């Protein structure tokens, strides 16, 4: 077993880190502390820079003209991209590109032409519609939105909840029930243009994070049968695959924020004086900094292990769930302790800690709450699909 | 026929601006609207994390003519506000709804349109039409 960064990985990390420090962080000094988008001219300028650096949409396979960077390297880069105020939900304000949901790579030629390629070129944006008012953690049962076949179309009725970007995206992957009697085999995925008649953004849902989400309604929304992604009834497998893979970068950006908070806490502890001495000389503070570091380093190993298994084409469901539980909970603890080190100034909007603190709370729920990740892991342990032996490293 | 419930609107009643009453406006984060005497919306804004004196400072600045788009605000008479820590999202929501109903932003917001975040869009069918 070897964990040694290649020259290429070092270069990518170095370039992303320098980009964030020199281009993103200075811009944030003039933005509102809750900003989640850059002004259009800055977005275009920085996206062009990233493209010139060859780091735009790093995960796009080479057969689609992308750099085809592996998951480990993308995980390391994600940790760097997120080390700024808006970094948790908008790492580097998305100027490194929006990676297409993996199932789109298996789409039909027509679908690839209409959706995947414009997404790769940065001309279209996508949202994912899984969760409904009836729930999200158990999509096999919670999905009530129905699609009924009518000639060459499917007619969709129902609603979706907590859809980020649905009001600004050009299309979505919408998961619906096409067979009410078939359980998880009764769910299918459709590619839905957001300008389709019957597609309604019912309301914006304001949450703890700075950016909002949406509630959607589908009212006799007619979608051509050619927009079915994969086979009818394959939707559950598609969403499961996507959710599992997404847990790795989702965890990595949380580590980035934790690292940024830890750096701030160390710097502040070295300078802030109380009762005639700097905080850094107080054992209570030293222990907080050490606990932060233990959380950061443990998270990083778990996330890299999941990424390594994904890169090797091995099953990584258990590892991704473990990474997601630990990294999201640990990042919350790190920011909490860093805020404590800072005292009163830590809870103001002068510093990014308060935003990270609020937004990290969502990470223990979003993309499958900690409890669901533990269910996934318990199933694998009890069925011997996962083991505590050293074999787990193989 | 009763008017449909418009959940996205600021629910507080319009108030006539009086300099002596400025201190009663909260210094909190939130969103606000400035209108003409007939309630015609001239500008929607937010008091965010870098705003001095929050809603109070923002609303007062409009009526004191201290803002660069004062020309569009010469008929300003009324204001209303909502204290809200999700001020950016609420602001975009108000502007997005207004644009869908009127086809353009309120006159006072038009000069700053180029630097605005992406506004939400609400109805697929209407957009296509």
Residue A195, classed as helix, strand or coil, is coil
Cβ-nearest to A204 among B117, B120, B123: B120
State yes or no: pLDDT of B125 exceeds 80: no
Inter-chain residue contact B124 with A210, CB threshold 8 Å? no
- Residue in chain A lying closest to B122 (CA): A201
* Strand partners for A147: A156
Cβ-nearest to A34 among B49, B118, B123: B49
Distances (CA, A) of A197 to A92, B128, B129: 34, 7, 9
* Strand partners for A214: A204
Is B35:B78 a contact under the CB 8 Å cutoff? Answer: yes
Tens digit of pLDDT for each residue in A157-200? Answer: 999 999 999 999 999 999 999 999 988 899 999 999 999 999 99
Is B50:B83 a contact under the CB 8 Å cutoff? Answer: no
Interface with chain A: mutation pick from B90, B112, B123, B127, highest number of A CBs within 10 Å: B123
Q: Is B108 exposed, middle or buried (0-12, 13-18, 19+ CB in 10 A)?
A: buried
pLDDT grade, residue A93 (50/70/90)?
A: very high
CATH fold for domain A7-105: Butyryl-Coa Dehydrogenase, subunit A; domain 1 (1.10.540)
Give dist(CA A262, CA B128) in Å, integer.
49
Residues of chain B in contact with residue A156, where contact means CB-CB under 8 angstroms, are none
What ipTM does this complex have?
A: 0.89
Residues 46-105 of B with CB under 8 A from A: 48-50, 84, 86-90, 92-93, 96
Strands (E), chain B: 15-16, 30-35, 41-47, 78-83
Residue whose pair of structure tokens reads 């030293």 in the numeric block:
A286
Residues of chain A in contact with residue B83, where contact means CB-CB under 8 angstroms, are none
Task: Count CA within 13 A, CB hemisphere, residue A58.
Answer: 23
Tens digit of pLDDT for each residue in B59-86? Answer: 998 888 766 565 566 788 899 999 999 9
Q: Which residues of A are catalytic?
A: 367
Architecture of the structural domain at A126-229: Beta Barrel (2.40)
Inter-chain residue contact B88 with A34, CB threshold 8 Å? yes
User: What does the domain layout of chain A look like in residue ranges?
Assistant: 7-105, 126-229, 237-393
Give dist(CA A326, CA A377) in Å, integer.
12
Q: Which of A21-25, A178-182, A227-231, A240-244 has the lowest mean pLDDT?
A: A240-244
* pLDDT of A137: 78
Read off φ and ψ for residue A389, nearest 5 degrees.
-65, 170
CATH number, domain A237-393: 1.20.140.10
pLDDT grade, residue B31 (50/70/90)?
A: very high
Residue A107, classed as helix, strand or coil, is coil
Is A245:A319 a contact under the CB 8 Å cutoff? Answer: no
The three-state (H, E, C) secondary structure of A330-366, written as one string: HHHHHHHHHHHHHHHHHHCCCCCHHHHHHHHHHHCCC
Q: In this structure, how many other beta carbons lie within 10 angstroms of the beta carbon of residue A379?
A: 14
* pLDDT of B71: 57
Strands (E), chain A: 126-129, 146-150, 153-161, 171-177, 187-193, 199-205, 213-224, 228-229, 273-274, 277-278
Residue B114 touches chain A, beta carbons under 8 Å: yes
Give dist(CA B129, CA B125) in Å, integer.
6
pLDDT grade, residue B124 (50/70/90)?
A: low
Give dist(CA A18, CA A46) in Å, integer.
13
State yes or no: pLDDT of B37 exceeds 50: yes
Structure tokens at B107: 């006159």
Percent of chain A with pLDDT over 70: 99
Is B47:B29 a contact under the CB 8 Å cutoff? Answer: yes
Pairs from A367-375 (Cβ < 8 Å, separation ≥ 24): A367/A243, A367/A246, A367/A247, A367/A250, A367/A324, A368/A137, A368/A243, A368/A247, A368/A321, A368/A324, A369/A137, A370/A324, A370/A325, A370/A328, A370/A329, A371/A137, A372/A137, A373/A247, A373/A321, A373/A322, A373/A324, A373/A325, A374/A321, A374/A325
């Amino acid at each position: 077993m070897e964990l040694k960064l290649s020259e290429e990985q070092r270069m990518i990390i170095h370039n992303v880190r320098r980009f964030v420090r020199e281009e993103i962080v200075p811009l944030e000094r003039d933005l509102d502390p809750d900003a989640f988008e850059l002004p259009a001219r800055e977005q275009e300028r920085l996206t062009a820079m990233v493209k010139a650096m060859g780091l735009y949409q790093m995960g796009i396979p080479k057969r689609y003209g992308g750099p085809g960077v592996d998951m480990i390297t993308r995980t390391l880069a994600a940790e760097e991209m997120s080390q700024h105020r808006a970094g948790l939900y908008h790492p580097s304000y998305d100027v490194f590109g929006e990676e297409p949901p993996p199932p789109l790579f298996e789409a039909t030629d027509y679908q690839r032409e209409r959706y995947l390629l414009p997404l790769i070129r940065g001309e279209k944006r996508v949202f994912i519609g899984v969760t409904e008012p009836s729930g999200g953690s158990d999509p096999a049962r919670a999905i009530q939105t129905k699609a009924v076949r009518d000639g060459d179309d499917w007619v969709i009725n129902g609603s979706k909840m907590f859809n980020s970007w649905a009001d600004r995206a050009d299309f979505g992957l919408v998961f619906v029930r096409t067979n009410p009697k078939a359980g998880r085999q009764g769910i299918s995925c459709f590619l839905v243009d957001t300008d389709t008649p019957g597609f309604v953004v019912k309301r914006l849902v304001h949450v703890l994070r700075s950016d909002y989400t949406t509630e959607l309604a589908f009212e006799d929304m007619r979608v051509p049968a050619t927009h079915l992604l994969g086979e009818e009834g394959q939707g559950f497998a598609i969403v499961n695959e996507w959710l599992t893979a997404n847990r790795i970068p989702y965890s990595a950006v949380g580590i980035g924020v934790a690292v940024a908070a830890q750096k701030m806490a160390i710097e502040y502890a070295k300078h802030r004086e109380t009762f005639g001495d700097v905080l850094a000389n107080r054992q209570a503070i030293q222990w907080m900094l050490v606990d932060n570091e233990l959380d950061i380093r443990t998270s990083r190993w778990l996330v890299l292990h999941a990424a390594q298994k994904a890169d090797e084409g091995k099953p990584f469901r258990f590892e991704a769930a473990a990474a997601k539980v630990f990294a999201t909970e640990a990042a919350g603890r790190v920011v909490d302790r860093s805020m404590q080190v800072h005292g009163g100034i830590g809870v103001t909007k002068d510093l990014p800690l308060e935003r990270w603190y609020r937004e990290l709370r969502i990470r223990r729920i979003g993309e499958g709450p900690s409890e669901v990740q533990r269910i996934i892991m318990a199933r694998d342990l009890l069925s011997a699909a996962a083991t505590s032996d050293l074999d787990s490293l193989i | 026929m009763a008017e449909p419930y418009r959940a996205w609107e600021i629910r507080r009643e319009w108030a006539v601006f009086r300099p002596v009453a400025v201190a009663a406006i909260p210094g909190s984060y939130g969103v606000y609207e400035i209108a003409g005497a007939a309630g015609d919306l001239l500008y929607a804004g937010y008091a965010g994390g870098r705003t001095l004196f929050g809603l109070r400072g923002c609303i007062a600045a409009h009526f004191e003519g201290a803002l660069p788009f004062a020309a569009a605000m010469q008929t300003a008479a009324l204001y209303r506000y909502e204290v809200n820590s999700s001020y950016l999202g609420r602001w975009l929501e108000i502007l997005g709804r207004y644009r869908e109903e009127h086809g353009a932003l309120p006159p006072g917001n038009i000069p700053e349109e180029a630097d605005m975040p992406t506004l939400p869009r609400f109805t697929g069918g209407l957009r296509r039409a």
